[in-house]
Amino acid sequence: MFSLVIQAGGKSERMGEDKALKTFLGRPLIQQALDRLAPLADEIIVTTNRPADYAFLGPRLVSDLAPGRGALGGLYTAVASAAHPIVGVVACDMPFASKALFETATRLLVQEEADVVIAKTEDGYEPFHAVYRRGTCVPAIKAALDADLWKVIAWFPSVKVRELTRDEIVAADPSGLCFWNVNTPEEFASAERLARPAD
């Protein structure tokens, strides 16, 4: 049983407006992630501190359980709020989030009894396009918060982390776009051009 959590709690400072709600191919950007990944999910949650703005989407809305604790607090909110034992977490600003990669990660989590299945790129780990085992990750993240740690992966040494190989990532996401966060109006426009169906 799989919970999908879409994180919409960022400040969108570089965008100059709430990027999750910015129109992307005629609809809010967050809808892109929702439509791509919803077929995987037995439950869908959106984390946001402005639930009234997101009520139109339909899924359950959850506000920060660890206010003021940055990305680690956001990850805790996502994993702790899920009802199911396997939790996929994705950022709302990833228009090319990969259903196939989430399927691969979920299969590996189960087969290899891992607690986290995550990609590591040249930019580091991708915690907001990853899969978590709720039962082991919630206490580990909570312990990191209680210890006043801030790094989003600070708790990784206390759980079993399975890194996706480059081949596994490429097989699931040949485009290489799945981890792309659109942070600026220019990136947003580029992503929209790439996502636009060919005429």
Q: Which two tokens stand for residue 125?
A: 């780990």
The token pair at 26 is: 């005629």
Are the CB atoms for 129 and 97 separated by under 8 Å?
A: yes
Domain extent for 182: 2-190
| Residue that the structure tokens 């709690």 belong to | 9
Q: How far apart are CA 72 and CA 121, in angstroms?
A: 19
How many separate domains does the chain show? 1
Q: Write out residues in the chain with pLDDT < 70, as ranges.
A: 10-14, 16, 198-199
Hey, what amino acid is at 67? P
CA dihedral 4, 159, 70, 74 (to 10 degrees): 20
Q: In the prediction, which pLDDT does 67 show?
A: 92
What separation in angstroms does the CA of 101 have from each of 50, 55, 164?
Answer: 29, 28, 9
In a domain, 162, yes or no: yes
In Å, what is the CA distance from 107 to each residue of 43, 126, 174? Answer: 18, 18, 19
Q: What is the pLDDT, as a whole number, of residue 17?
A: 79
3-state class (DSSP) for residue 198: coil
Domain for residue 199, yes or no?
no
198 found inside a domain: no
Q: What is the pLDDT of residues 61-112, one digit of tens each?
A: 999 999 999 999 999 999 999 999 999 999 999 999 999 999 999 999 999 9
Q: What is the CATH number of the domain that holds 30?
A: 3.90.550.10
Residue 196 belongs to some domain of the structure: no
DSSP string, 88-114: EEEETT-TT--HHHHHHHHHHHHHTT-
**Does residue 110 contact residue 88 with C-beta atoms inside 8 Å?**
no
Distance, CA of 5 to CA of 17 (rounded, Å): 22
Residue 197 lies in a domain: no
